[in-house]
Structure 1
Amino acid sequence: MYKTCTKTLVFPLLALFLSCQAFFAGAVTISRVEPSSWWVGMKNKTLQVMVYGPNIAKSVPTCKYPGVTLKEVARTDNPNYLFIYVEIAANTKPGTVAIRFTQGNQSQTYNYQLKARTDKSGALGFNTSDVLYLITPDRFANGNPANDNWDGVNVDRSNPDARHGGDLSGVSKNLDFIKDLGFTTVWFNPVQENKMPRGSYHGYAITDFYKIDPRFGSNEEFRDLTKTMHAKGLKVVMDMIFNHCGLAHPWMTDKPAKDWINNPDIYVQTNHAKLTAMDPYAAKKERDILLDGWFVPDMPDLNQRNRHLATYLIQNSIWWIEYARIDGIRQDTHPYPDYAFMARWCKEVMVEYPNFNIVGEVWYGKPGEVAWWQHGSALNKNNSYLKTVMDFPLTFTAEKAFEKTGNERGSEASGMYQLYEVIAQDFLYENPNNILTFLDNHDTGRFNRKDDDNLDRFKQAFAFLLTTRGIPQIYYGTEILMVGAKSEGDGQIRKDYPGGWEGDKSNAFTPDGRTEKQNEAFNYLRRLLQWRKTNEAVTTGKLIHYAPHESNVYVYARVKGNKTVLVMLNASGRDQALDMDRFTDVTANFTGGRDVITGKQITPDQGKVTVPARGQYILELN
């Protein structure tokens, strides 16, 4: 019976399949078009459209639309991809461009939308007047539990490496909290789709560059969020990754070209030897492994030397700027992709949006190594066009600089001197103002520690961060003393914000939900952040500092016009009476100053000001 039934069913089905295959053999099928839409009036008149479908490369595309010219039709070794390059004249009107794909006697028309650039908000960039609040969206707040689970990957808050359910809605519901704290800008860890088997909560294994991960929300929700943030006076920075994609990206099952991915046939781990990017003596093999090796087996390394992929990635970032009107981009692993491509990307974005800002993750331990990557650097004969770099040397120094060193008299080994020494090397930078400063982020151990018995270290560090040069960034949860060591795993430095989930035992978004110590830290940071907004000397003024070679007290001033802020950081374990005669070139005719934290008036006593042990003054001179 079983065999008879099998024969009875199989032959008619096979005949039907073959007849259908013959019928559709000449059909033109389009499965995907990227970008799905574009805008008229862009400075770069050339648009690449990537078309995907079975044997689409065998078709011939044509279009007739006033102002739109078909420049090139490019095919690769994969017949399922077609790259169309069109030129859009400056006077082109928005509308629907009918692109006709003809293959033999079959054809298909795709209606491509050219939109008007009606939204002029955003794209403002960020600068020294801003303070960035870095959020890992999966761990901040869950505003919509309905989108928690997707495609078999479920929320599990007991697992520090699983999805926890935070989303864009959770951020939206806490915007007033962020603004009231004093932040001007929110930097989101990646929010694009990460459809990976294990969840990829961090966002760095992208599987769709043009789509917000549905567990965070939709493209429309992200665009609405940026509009709301702009209306509240907040800016938006979007994390992007050009070095790699996620292993589950559709490209990995059907590559657009053989050279789309570096080392596609055998796994080669990157050596992380970032110095080879600038080392004049580096062996080619060493540099190739840095650039072409994979970060991890789940993140294939993209080959930006493929001209179609390079244009695809550049257009993708421009698409997000224009679509959501974001204000800035933080580029992950900046030294790892092809250098010429990254320079081209930075340049093209900045030409299109002159006020925009890009900060690159250039993870190096010395100022000269970081400075090499900055736009216009005298150290680098090939301009990177990267406007802002990340001050990892300052981060690593600050981690220890505010410790109880026991060094009462100070020396070149003291924490304050080492901090001073990093700042003193700003002569290496083309523009010391375009440096992102931070004490920690989503990849480092948290600055706050479990064994901090008081807030001395916290207060000194943030007094410094928010008054020195550069653009400060603060990691979410720092204001409530969240802790986590890198050695404990990344999930421990990206914990859930208490109160962000319904049913949480405490709600740190409210004063009643915070401990006394947390409220002390929160209020201290809030006072500093809100004050910083009002003081031009700190945000745009000149920095003048003094070597802390005698007392382990670091003294510096921020000066603009007739406004001067004097900062005094005493890292020693005893009160220090400082002779103010040393600082007359910044104190000039000022007779005293108001401490911005306590409101107390500080006046020299017999020419001296005493700074408390492990204490600080931030004085607005008067």
Structure 2
Amino acid sequence: MKFIHQFFTLALCLASPSIRAQAVEIYPPNWWIGMKHNTVQLLVKASDAGFGKRDVSVKHAGITVAKVNRLENGKYLALDIIVQPDATPGTVVFDFKAGKKSQKVNWELKPRDKNRAYAQGVTSADFIYLAMPDRFSNGDASNDKIKDMRDQSLNRDSIFYRHGGDLQGIINHLDYLQDLGITTLWMTPVFENDMPDRTEHGYAITNHYKIDARQGDAALYKKLSNELHKRNMKLIQDAVYNHVGLYHFFVQDKPTHDWLHEWPAYTNTTYKDQPLMDIHASAADQKRMSDGWFTKFMPDLNQQNPYVANFLIQHALWSVEEFGVDGWRIDTYIYNDLDFMNRCNQALYDEYPNITLFGETWVHGVSSQAFFTRNNFTIPFKSNLLGATDFQTNLYGIVPALNEPFGWTNGVNKLYQTLAGDFMYEDPMRNVNFLDNHDMTRFYSTVNEDLAKHKMGIAWLLTTRGIPQLYYGTEIIMKGVSNPDGWVRLDFPGGWPGDKANKFTKEGRTEKENEAFEWTKKLANFRKSSSAIKTGKLMQYVPEDGVYVYFRYDDKQTVMCVMNTQDKPMTIDTKRFAERIKTFSKGKEVSTGAAYDIKQSLTIPAKYVFVLDLQ
């Protein structure tokens, strides 16, 4: 498989024509002086099977080759190099020798940019916006198709073809996000997906060190990061450790025989997480869960192979340093080798103490989800993952709260009961709450296009414990059912020249869309200045008659939230909440500015959430 790397310059100088000049690629393409991770394993790939027999030397101040690992596939070498603290930045020249003949290859060593803001971490004080670049906005039509890439589709009428959205399109709308109250951007992966089809989502990476050319390039990704930081906003990168695209160079031409998890016949994962924690589980079920492939087009990486593990860990560190990443969302967390994940997570924590990591844990039950995070269990496996994408507060929380009739274990009681399980987490404030995402039915469709229920969901999202995450277009009630998933990945209207309506503007939105947008904006921007919601405690009361009351509070502020899931107005006796209301007598509703007397009783409209700043 012919594969030319974009990030470094080759020096193909041979002493004799008897040895053929060949393209040589080095991964990672550069490193930095002053990193705690200063022993770096370079995966070197050439086009000739005899390359792996060559001797290696380097003459550069502060750089030494500690070990040359000769892999089974003779096209590869793995070089363990040490970068000393006093190393000299610049071009490092590696000399690959065969007898008296040599080939020199350049590799870059950089000084760290100490003035750059990155790895700040994403906390409960933030509000995350999840965007799929291909479907958000097309800022540069010149990169819609890239010659020689396998996927040449470009058809906005198809839910599965490429639509042309890119990084420039996102940069163009950062003001829109900031106005909405967003503090943090998370995008689906932006690294190269050189696959024949379904390349819009980004999860089938074929080159870890190249930004997909249809999105832009490394310079544009850095520009996006810098533009976010100028606005005091943050960047989350989507990490994919479990699998890669079928056309990744190290799948098409494996460095070792055990680079992937391979079976006598194709074997899919079971998608069942229980065998990983079940004390009665069979080893066969555990193996198929972890080592089975996610799809036929996404080979499963063997993270117990030390070279695979080093490649992935170093790419994580490289990405944070190269692009100024602040947080790390980890795709398909539960399918990875969990010991490897602890090691990879720790490498990031050690290098960047403030960085935030949260994993996709699409499981069922609070205990199952807590298993994959830092928890309060006494069990053999202890995860060091800070938080999870909280599928429990979604699937068994806000969705049944709004869609089911109230009952002893139904309706809003499920939301209450799910949050009552927070004792299992070391810190539930690190979990990421959401109403929908790129794999799920859009929230407006989930609540049967009931705008009142939609607004209730938004109010809960922006006031409950944890980190809120909004999927692009939810603020303008975009709809779609996830069967198939392309229907929940439609274009943001107005993101393409010639769109009939521009939903990025008030004038382009319908009355209902503006109502949803303004509701979200009001609550999100209030949240920015609310210490009680950003970092305060949560106290919740047992729901009664379909009404759920909870408080966010600290020493400076108390916010009272009253969720009425009934189809009729409900009046509550506020004396029940004296423990938290204390001497407060009024509550100012955040969304309308109206003041309410809370000393005796409070009447809540049907299908509504009061968010009251107590005074």
**Fold match (TM-score > 0.5):** yes
CA distance in 2, matches of 1:593, 1:189: 40
CA distance in 2, matches of 1:418, 1:153: 46
For the residue of structure 1 that corresponds to 2:208, the secondary structure is strand
Does residue 603 of structure 1 match 2:597? yes
| 1:2-61 per-position Cα deviation (integer Å, ceiling 9, x unaligned) | xxxxxxxxxxxxxxxxxxxxx855346342111111101001220111111112211000
Structure 2 counterpart of 1:562: 556
CA distance in 2, matches of 1:294, 1:199: 17
Structure 2 counterpart of 1:433: 429
| 1:218-240 per-position Cα deviation (integer Å, ceiling 9, x unaligned) | 01110111011110121111111
Q: Is the 8 A contact 1:375 1:386 kept in 2?
A: yes
Structure 2 counterpart of 1:571: 565
Q: Is the 8 A contact 1:401 1:419 kept in 2?
A: yes
Does residue 522 of structure 1 match 2:517? yes
For the residue of structure 1 that corresponds to 2:445, the secondary structure is coil
For the residue of structure 2 that corresponds to 1:301, the secondary structure is coil
| TM-score normalised by L of structure 1 | 0.93
Which of 468, 474, 486 is the aligned partner of 1:472?
A: 468
Does residue 29 of structure 1 match 2:22? yes
Q: Is the 8 A contact 1:414 1:552 kept in 2?
A: no
Structure 1 counterpart of 2:578: 584
For the residue of structure 1 that corresponds to 2:443, the secondary structure is coil
Q: Is the 8 A contact 2:401 2:415 kept in 1?
A: no
The 10-residue stretch of structure 1 (35-44 or 256-265) with the greater mean CA deviation from structure 2: 256-265
Kindly tell me: are residues 450 and 292 of structure 1, through their superposed partners in 2, closer, same or farther at Cα, counting changes over 3 Å?
Answer: closer
Q: Which runs of 5+ in 1 are unaligned?
A: 1-22
TM alignment of 1:394-543, pairs within 5 A: 394-398=393-397, 400-403=399-402, 405-407=404-406, 411-449=407-445, 452=448, 454-487=450-483, 489-543=484-538
- Deviation, structure 1 residue 613: 1.7
Structure 2 counterpart of 1:615: 608
- Deviation, structure 1 residue 442: 0.6
Q: Is the 8 A contact 2:587 2:598 kept in 1?
A: no
Structure 1 counterpart of 2:67: 72
Kindly tell me: are residues 372 and 404 of structure 1, through their superposed partners in 2, closer, same or farther at Cα, counting changes over 3 Å?
Answer: closer
The 10-residue stretch of structure 1 (349-358 or 283-292) with the greater mean CA deviation from structure 2: 283-292
For the residue of structure 2 that corresponds to 1:330, the secondary structure is strand
- Deviation, structure 1 residue 266: 3.3
Structure 2 counterpart of 1:378: 377
Q: Is the 8 A contact 2:68 2:78 kept in 1?
A: yes
Q: Which amino acid aligns with 2:212?
A: D
Q: Which runs of 5+ in 2 are unaligned?
A: 1-15
Q: Is the 8 A contact 1:28 1:102 kept in 2?
A: no
TM alignment of 1:218-367, pairs within 5 A: 218-263=217-262, 266-367=265-366
CA distance in 1, matches of 2:173, 2:94: 44
Does residue 88 of structure 1 match 2:88? no
- Deviation, structure 1 residue 492: 0.2
Structure 2 counterpart of 1:11: none
RMSD: 1.6
Q: Is the 8 A contact 1:28 1:56 kept in 2?
A: no
- Deviation, structure 1 residue 512: 1.1
Higher Rg: 1
CA distance in 1, matches of 2:76, 2:488: 41
For the residue of structure 1 that corresponds to 2:236, the secondary structure is strand
Does residue 214 of structure 1 match 2:213? yes
Structure 2 counterpart of 1:113: 108
Structure 1 counterpart of 2:143: 147
Which of 113, 119, 123 is the aligned partner of 1:123?
A: 119
Q: Is the 8 A contact 2:204 2:243 kept in 1?
A: yes
| TM-score normalised by L of structure 2 | 0.94
For the residue of structure 1 that corresponds to 2:67, the secondary structure is strand
Q: Which amino acid aligns with 2:509?
A: R
Kindly tell me: are residues 457 and 209 of structure 1, through their superposed partners in 2, closer, same or farther at Cα, counting changes over 3 Å?
Answer: same
For the residue of structure 2 that corresponds to 1:424, the secondary structure is helix
Taking only the aligned residue pairs, the percentage that are identical comes to: 38
CA distance in 1, matches of 2:479, 2:250: 38
Structure 2 counterpart of 1:193: 192
For the residue of structure 1 that corresponds to 2:612, the secondary structure is strand
Does residue 100 of structure 1 match 2:95? yes
Kindly tell me: are residues 265 and 221 of structure 1, through their superposed partners in 2, closer, same or farther at Cα, counting changes over 3 Å?
Answer: farther
Structure 1 counterpart of 2:39: 46
Structure 2 counterpart of 1:170: 169
Q: Is the 8 A contact 2:440 2:488 kept in 1?
A: yes
Kindly tell me: are residues 405 and 360 of structure 1, through their superposed partners in 2, closer, same or farther at Cα, counting changes over 3 Å?
Answer: closer
Structure 1 counterpart of 2:11: none
Q: Is the 8 A contact 2:403 2:447 kept in 1?
A: no
Give the count of matched residue pairs.
594
CA distance in 2, matches of 1:249, 1:269: 19
CA distance in 1, matches of 2:89, 2:209: 21
Structure 1 counterpart of 2:13: none
Q: Is the 8 A contact 2:246 2:252 kept in 1?
A: no
Q: Which amino acid aligns with 1:159?
A: S
CA distance in 1, matches of 2:64, 2:72: 25
For the residue of structure 1 that corresponds to 2:558, the secondary structure is strand
Structure 2 counterpart of 1:14: none
CA distance in 2, matches of 1:321, 1:450: 36
Q: Is the 8 A contact 1:28 1:101 kept in 2?
A: no
Q: Which amino acid aligns with 2:583?
A: N
Q: Is the 8 A contact 1:373 1:380 kept in 2?
A: no
Q: Is the 8 A contact 1:402 1:461 kept in 2?
A: no
For the residue of structure 2 that corresponds to 1:282, the secondary structure is coil
- Deviation, structure 1 residue 91: 2.5
Kindly tell me: are residues 323 and 400 of structure 1, through their superposed partners in 2, closer, same or farther at Cα, counting changes over 3 Å?
Answer: closer
Q: Is the 8 A contact 1:28 1:106 kept in 2?
A: no
For the residue of structure 2 that corresponds to 1:449, the secondary structure is helix
Q: Is the 8 A contact 2:53 2:70 kept in 1?
A: no
Q: Which amino acid aligns with 1:259?
A: D
- Deviation, structure 1 residue 118: 1.5
Q: Is the 8 A contact 1:406 1:573 kept in 2?
A: no
CA distance in 2, matches of 1:404, 1:336: 31
CA distance in 2, matches of 1:247, 1:91: 41
| 1:127-176 per-position Cα deviation (integer Å, ceiling 9, x unaligned) | 00001000011100000111001235131111101101100010010010
- Deviation, structure 1 residue 98: 2.1
For the residue of structure 1 that corresponds to 2:202, the secondary structure is coil
Does residue 183 of structure 1 match 2:182? yes
Q: Is the 8 A contact 2:349 2:355 kept in 1?
A: yes
CA distance in 1, matches of 2:191, 2:120: 22
Kindly tell me: are residues 224 and 202 of structure 1, through their superposed partners in 2, closer, same or farther at Cα, counting changes over 3 Å?
Answer: same
For the residue of structure 2 that corresponds to 1:71, the secondary structure is strand
CA distance in 1, matches of 2:218, 2:232: 21
Q: Which amino acid aligns with 1:129?
A: A
- Deviation, structure 1 residue 190: 0.7
- Deviation, structure 1 residue 81: 0.2
CA distance in 2, matches of 1:25, 1:300: 38
CA distance in 2, matches of 1:570, 1:450: 18
For the residue of structure 1 that corresponds to 2:189, the secondary structure is coil
For the residue of structure 2 that corresponds to 1:112, the secondary structure is strand
- Deviation, structure 1 residue 401: 2.9
- Deviation, structure 1 residue 422: 0.5
- Deviation, structure 1 residue 479: 0.7
Structure 2 counterpart of 1:4: none
Which of 50, 53, 57 is the aligned partner of 2:52?
A: 57
For the residue of structure 1 that corresponds to 2:402, the secondary structure is coil
Q: Which amino acid aligns with 1:374?
A: T
- Deviation, structure 1 residue 319: 0.6
For the residue of structure 2 that corresponds to 1:255, the secondary structure is coil
Q: Which amino acid aligns with 1:325?
A: G
Q: Which amino acid aligns with 2:548?
A: Y
